[in-house]
């Protein structure tokens, strides 16, 4: 079982807790983690690019000139690809990039990402993250106590107005509830700061 320090908002140790080995101490599965990251990235793609083909472009209902006797090449429509305002040949069409992963693999990928945070010492557990005000400065001071330099993921058991307002102007901070934690946000964060209650919620959901 893995023990980890629980800190207060000043960065001082309060106590130790034991992390569930089945969630935060598994042998990482890189292949499943890779698949989960690709799934999240693919599902975020819109795939809305597209151009009009011969059946979609407007106009061109009449043959531009008679078949024979003009000295010009035969033409059936002015909306062929080689005409001005014509259709696109083999153009891009809207595409659905959504991919799937079975439930056991998704859970394993999440456990792998959480275990990597423990292995790399990128997980900080805080007793509570309740702020006295909704000022961004207060959140900045709190993060400075944990020596945050780059992207940080803050996980709380329950969102409140003060936390939401204090973090929304910080570009390097992402605030999530425990049940919103996902693989892509975990691996994108250089540091994860989680409430003790949020850790227990994650363990209950994944153990």
Q: Where are the domains of the chain?
A: 2-45+101-206, 48-96
Mean pLDDT over 97-121 rounds to 94
Question: Residue 108 contacts by C-beta under 8 Å, 6 or more apart in sequence?
Answer: 26, 29, 32
Q: What is the pLDDT, as a whole number, of residue 1?
A: 53
What backbone torsions phi and psi does residue 43 show, to the nearest 5 degrees? -70, -15
Average per-residue pLDDT in the chain?
Answer: 92
- Confidence (pLDDT) at 185: 95
Report the CATH superfamily, name and number, of domain 2-45+101-206. Answer: Ribosomal protein L4/L1 (3.40.1370.10)
pLDDT, tens digit, 9 for 90 and up, residues 54-98: 889 998 888 999 999 999 999 999 999 999 999 999 999 999 999
Query: What is the reported pLDDT for 79?
Result: 92
Give the pLDDT band of residue 21 (cuts 50, 70, 90). Answer: very high
CB 34 within 8 A of CB 46: no
Query: Three-state SS for 102?
Result: coil
Cα 165 to Cα 26: distance, rounded to the nearest angstrom: 36
Residue 200, pLDDT score: 94
**Which of 157, 116, 115 is closest to 20 using CA atoms?**
115
pLDDT tens digits for 152-173? Answer: 999 999 998 999 999 999 999 9
Residue positions counted in the chain: 207
Question: If you search the block for the tokens 């042998």, which residue do you land on?
Answer: 27
């Amino acid at each position: 079982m893995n023990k980890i320090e629980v800190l207060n908002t000043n960065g001082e140790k309060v106590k130790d807790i034991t992390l569930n080995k089945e969630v935060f101490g598994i042998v990482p599965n890189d292949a499943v983690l890779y698949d989960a990251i690709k799934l999240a990235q693919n599902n975020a793609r819109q795939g809305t690019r597209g151009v009009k083909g011969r059946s979609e472009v407007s106009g061109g209902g009449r043959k531009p000139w008679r078949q024979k006797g003009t000295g010009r090449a035969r033409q059936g429509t002015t909306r062929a690809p080689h005409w001005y305002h014509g259709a696109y040949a083999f153009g891009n069409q809207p595409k659905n990039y959504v991919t799937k992963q079975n439930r056991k693999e998704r859970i394993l990928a999440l456990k792998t990402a959480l275990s990597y945070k423990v292995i790399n010492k990128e997980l900080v557990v805080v007793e509570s993250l309740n702020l006295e005000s909704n000022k961004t400065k207060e959140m900045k001071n709190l993060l400075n106590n944990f020596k945050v330099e780059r992207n940080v993921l803050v996980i709380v058991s329950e969102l409140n107005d003060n936390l939401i307002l204090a973090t929304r102007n910080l570009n390097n901070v992402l605030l999530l509830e425990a049940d919103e934690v996902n693989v892509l946000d975990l691996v994108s964060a250089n540091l994860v700061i989680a409430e003790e209650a949020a850790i227990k919620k994650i363990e209950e959901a994944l153990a």
